[in-house]
Amino acid sequence: HEHASSDTISKSELHKFKIKIMSELVSNGVQIYQFPLDDETLMERAGHLPFAVVGSTEEVSVGNKMVKARQYPWGVVQVENENHCDFVKLREMLICVNMEDLREQTHTRHYELYRRCKLEEMGFKDTDPECKPVR
């Protein structure tokens, strides 16, 4: 039974490779995005930087379910399997950090625009100061 690990390298090779990449970035003065780390889970996830991500649009049958994966002659690399790559860690970091902003933007921009358009379709201009629809 073969075990896939971030495409085609072993876990120890991957760890060494990540360290090498980080030292190259530091020695060349490359700034990487600093996630705001006010959460224990985020701090733990940040310890895996840089992320080794495998992506795929193909679905492969694993056990009795279909999963996003890459099929190789030597095995399958599952996109959402944390033993195979860091996709889930990256997704969690991005979603955790940006969820509040996403909620705020959805409410203030998208919902408000939708609400205003719907009121205008019904012949209302918008609302008056007491939040009653105005014709």
Q: Mean pLDDT in the chain?
A: 80
Return the beta strands (E) in the chain as ranges: 59-62, 65-72, 75-78, 126-127, 133-134
Q: Is the pLDDT of residue 79 over 60?
A: yes
List of residues 6+ apart from 56 with CB closer than 8 A: 68, 69, 70, 77, 79
Read off the pTM. Answer: 0.57
pLDDT digit string (tens) for 20-46? Answer: 998 998 899 998 877 766 767 667 777
pLDDT score, position 14: 84
pLDDT score, position 5: 44
Q: pLDDT band at 132, cuts 50/70/90?
A: low
pLDDT score, position 2: 45
Q: Is the pLDDT of residue 56 over 50?
A: yes
